[in-house]
Amino acid sequence: MSPEIVIFNVTNGLIVGAFYVLMALGLSLILNLSNVINFAHGGFLALGGYIGWMLTPYVGFWGALALAPLATAVFGFVIERLLIRRLYGRDPLYSLLLTFGLAFILEDGSRSIWGAQGLPVSVPDILNQPLSDQFFFITGYRVFMVVVVVVVVAILFILLRYTRVGIRIRAGTLDLETVAALGVNVRALRSLNFAVGIFLAGLSGVLASGQLGLEPTMGTGLLMPSFIAIIVGGVGSLTGTLLGGLLIGVASGITTVFLPQASEAIIYVIMALVLLIRPRGLFGEEGMMT
Amino acid sequence: MKSGRTLRLAWVALMWLALAAAPFWMPFVGGYTALGTRVLVLGLAAMSVNFLLGFTGVLSFGHAAWFGLGAYGCGLLLKFGPPSTPLGLIAGTLLGGIAGGLLGALMVRRRGVYFAMVTIAFGQVFYYIAFQWSDLTGGDDGLRGFSRQPLQLGSLTIDILSNSNYFYYFVLVCFAIAAAIMGFILRSPFGRTLIAIRENERRARFLGIPIERHIWIAFTLSCFFMAFAGGLYALVNNFADPRGLHYSQSGDFVIMAVMGGMRTFWGPLLGAAVFVVLQDYISSVTVNWMSFIGLLVVLIVLFFPRGLLGLVNRRSVA
């Protein structure tokens, strides 16, 4: 087994892990503050990709990369205002079913508008060059994706830590009632928070389309690993979600080297182990496990 | 109160009558017997989901896994083991029920949305196993190469393989037995305790009820019912499909339960009937059936969260 193969799969794992992280962070934000499992997250991801594809002829790749996630976030904001907000405070069953139905509509809608066939997406030539002859598989675009994810995640964490809104979101995760009692407009906070989550999904969509092309179901496959990233990292902890996503991405990359059939199974094994040994997740707080 | 009870009994009697006579009246309304068989099996599955959701207050969104395991267990026994339909059903029920019980012990450590999330994720494990282990399961193509076998009752042979009406009655008997056991459990002190947990978990805990153990037992029982329904489903199609294990199938079961009325015993059966007929009809008229089902779900959640029977019940109370 040559070192190239190992490095190839580990880098692959990191890249896949970066997408898990983007997806899972968005899901986690929404789950923490609104107690909603957003089944439609994968649908929003695909939507982001398609919006980027539509925008590219007018604003170019870079413009699309900047605008498409914003457009997706606006769409998410509207959905939250119109539908999801009505279900806050009710049994979580209903928000789960609603987003489940929404996922159907988004997938079917994308298929009707843009077709079931995959659409190819081109990225600027600068990004397509391999970085070196030896590791020809490490194209500029792969590095670029990881850099974008790192930058965006860093910005997100800085915003959550140091801005007023960010602090309110984190406080709301711990105790929403008290935050509301202190005079914070919780409704607006939740809408904004939802939009941020969808922004991350839209961004993953645009980034992923440059590597894999566009398909109506492109986000669905990322949904389950993202759930697991959240469970492994510990519900309520964004740092946990971040590390959980990277962990399962790299773990499945490494498993691909030794036992390709088990690359998918390994993430479930990790989840089972975590639940067995540390039910609240690696970074979950005591008392947040309900 | 008394008259309400009589009315309820009359409705249940009418339902059994309609079910018993289904092969005779279904062709007149544009249906066919196999459709009725599917409604019964999926209805039993939705009732099993509801055993947990409606009567224990615990949402599992991964129950398709136990349904699918039941189907594969039944199919594999018929394919490689003795050619006996009852043995196949027993094998499927045991496989799904035991697997669900073992993993359930891990899952009941969480509650609420997170329980739902863990059940989804664990459910997917079996989807991937069925998908990847193609030597045994046929992978993406599903498990083929088996068929339900005629029943042997002493010297009497009932050909449920080629006669679809006989098969319908076989499924109806299975359904009736499972429903009776389920109803019996729910009327027992154990079942009443489950309802107490649903109504107020904290108060039930203060009364000294071991909540985790009760939820685990309820989960396991529900897995056994689910796997039994899955085994029947394998017999319906003579085929086991990996997509039967997928979480979107679990979603369908939850939709059936909620649509029919999750606080009622028979609601999920009605929900399954409506769902199956709608899906059958819509997918024959338009390719966009997914949008219609999605829209239907959104509308139910927003406007009819109590489901069809919940609506009727409230009216009769008022």
The count of other CB atoms within 10 Å of the CB of residue B282 is: 17
- A vs B: CB pairs below 8 A: 115
Q: How would you classify residue B307: left for phi > 0, otherwise alpha for psi between -120 and 50, otherwise beta? A: left
Report pLDDT digits (tens) over A131-189. Answer: 666 666 667 788 888 889 899 999 999 998 899 888 888 888 888 888 888 888 888 88
Per-residue pLDDT band at B318 (split at 50, 70, 90): very low
Mean pLDDT in chain B?
85
- Domain-located, residue A5: no
* Contact residues, chain B, for A227 at CB < 8 Å: 117, 120-121
Q: How many structural domains does chain A have?
A: 1
* Contact residues, chain B, for A228 at CB < 8 Å: 121
Region B264-278: what's the mean pLDDT? 91
- Domain-located, residue A104: yes
Which domain covers residue A122, as residue numbers?
Answer: 18-218
Domain ranges of chain B: 34-245
CB-CB under 8 Å, A102 with B294: yes
- Domain-located, residue A265: no
B34 interfacial to chain A (CB closer than 8 Å): no
Per-residue pLDDT band at B135 (split at 50, 70, 90): confident
- Domain-located, residue A166: yes
* CB interface of A with B, residues 72-111, below 8 Å: 83, 86-87, 90-94, 96-98, 100-105, 107-109
CB-CB under 8 Å, B305 with A94: yes
Question: What is the model's pLDDT at position B144?
Answer: 79
CB nearest to B121's CB, from A86, A271, A276: A271
Region A119-127: what's the mean pLDDT? 75
Token pair in block for residue B190 = 């154990």
- Domain-located, residue A199: yes
| pTM for this predicted structure | 0.87
- Domain-located, residue A174: yes
ipTM at complex level: 0.84
Report pLDDT digits (tens) over B28-64. Answer: 777 778 888 899 999 999 999 999 988 888 888 889 9
Question: What is the model's pLDDT at position A134?
Answer: 63
- Domain-located, residue A278: no
- Domain-located, residue A37: yes
Report pLDDT digits (tens) over A218-274. Answer: 888 888 888 889 888 887 788 888 899 989 988 888 888 888 777 778 888 888 888
Question: What is the model's pLDDT at position A154?
Answer: 92
